[in-house]
């Protein structure tokens, strides 16, 4: 099990967080950094946000965060990312957080093949092949993987069928890899509920938002830090948990 505190003479554990520049990804990065991890921060297009976050963390602890750019829909860039991360690691990779995700509407009667492929690539294909590429590093460290899924797997969202299907695939992959990669590597998932509304306001109009919160027992939005703390728990305090998906949704799946 990765310890939250390290002997100063020992290398710090390293975590690669995909899509770590903004929103939930950035909260995960900050929480893991606070707990002593060295961070490999992946981004695709949010270069300014990634560099700003890395600069902030490096001011707190020098050489504790490095940025890596890759399009996880492209196998060549996935391979290059894994190679570049590996070149900077001595003791393997203790934690991979597959957080990067695409979220776009695909109304069933209108969706095109390219729309479907984009959701599959960002939410399932990318995590699958990145995990495969990083497997030697994860095995060296006897590390673990946390996949960020979505409670919409259980409660599908109208007009987002391709997204929901891709996240359902990631949930299935989480359990499959827990079987295939044990006992050396643990694999778990975190399924956020209503944490942050999508940046595109059209995805959730005011009526949809009010209805979702009304059906949530805690009657409020969660915070990105709720997801970050759950990821950190699975990574550092749960040595006998694997193949599980923890819903962090204020109880939304109950009603």
Of the residues 43, 160, 163, 204, only one is catalytic, namely 163
For residue range 66-112, list pLDDT tens digits in order. Answer: 999 999 999 999 999 999 999 999 889 999 999 999 999 999 999 99
What is the distance between the alpha carbons of residues 107 and 126, in angstroms, rounded to a whole number?
23
Helix (H) or strand (E) segment spanning residue 148: strand 144-148
For residue range 12-36, list pLDDT tens digits in order. Answer: 999 999 999 999 999 999 999 999 9
Per-residue buried b or exposed e for 35-65, using 16+ beta carbons within 10 Å of the residue's own CB: bbbbbbbbbbebeebbeebbeebeeeeeebb
Is 80 within the bounds of a domain? yes
- 163 belongs to the catalytic site: yes
Mean pLDDT within 128-155: 97
Is 193 within the bounds of a domain? yes
Is 78 within the bounds of a domain? yes
Q: Is the peptide bond before 183 cis (omega within 30 degrees of 0)?
A: yes
Is 169 within the bounds of a domain? yes
DSSP state of 199: S
Is 86 within the bounds of a domain? yes
Q: Sheet harboring 65-69: ordered strands across?
A: 65-69, 38-43, 14-17, 95-98, 144-148, 186-192, 245-248
Is 70 within the bounds of a domain? yes
Range of the domain at 190: 14-248
Residue 155's CATH number: 3.40.50.720
Is 6 within the bounds of a domain? no
pTM above 0.85, yes or no: yes
Nearest CA-CA partner of 55 in 33, 32, 70, 77: 33
Q: Report residue 105 as tokens.
A: 């509407």
Nearest CA-CA partner of 91 in 138, 42, 32: 138
Q: Into how many domains does the chain fold?
A: 1
At 43 the three-state DSSP class reads strand
Residue 199 has a pLDDT of 66
Is 135 within the bounds of a domain? yes
Output the DSSP codes for 63-127: T-EEEEE--TT-HHHHHHHHHHHHHT-SS--SEEEE---------TTT--HHHHHHHHIIIIIHH
């Amino acid at each position: 099990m990765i310890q939250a505190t390290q002997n100063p003479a020992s290398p710090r554990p390293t975590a690669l967080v995909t899509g770590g520049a903004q929103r939930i990804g950035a909260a995960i990065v900050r929480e893991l950094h606070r707990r002593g991890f060295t961070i490999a921060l992946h981004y695709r297009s949010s270069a300014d946000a990634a560099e700003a976050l890395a600069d902030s963390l490096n001011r707190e602890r020098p050489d504790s965060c490095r940025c890596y750019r890759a399009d996880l829909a492209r196998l060549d860039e996935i391979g290059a990312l894994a190679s570049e991360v590996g070149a900077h690691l001595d003791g393997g990779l203790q934690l991979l957080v597959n957080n990067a995700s695409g979220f776009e509407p695909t109304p069933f009667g209108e969706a095109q093949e390219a729309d479907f492929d984009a959701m599959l690539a960002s939410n399932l294909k990318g995590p699958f092949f990145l995990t495969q590429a990083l497997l030697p590093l994860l095995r060296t460290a006897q590390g673990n993987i946390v996949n960020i899924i979505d409670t919409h797997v259980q409660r599908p969202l109208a007009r987002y069928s391709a997204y929901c299907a891709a996240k359902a695939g990631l949930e299935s992959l989480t359990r499959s890899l827990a079987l295939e990669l044990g006992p050396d590597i643990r694999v778990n998932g975190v399924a956020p509920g209503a944490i942050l509304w999508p940046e595109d306001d059209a995805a959730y109009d005011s009526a949809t938002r009010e209805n979702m919160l009304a059906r949530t027992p805690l009657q409020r939005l969660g915070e990105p830090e709720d997801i970050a703390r759950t990821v950190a728990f699975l990574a550092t305090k749960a040595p006998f948990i694997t193949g599980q998906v923890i819903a962090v949704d204020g109880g939304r799946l109950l009603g």
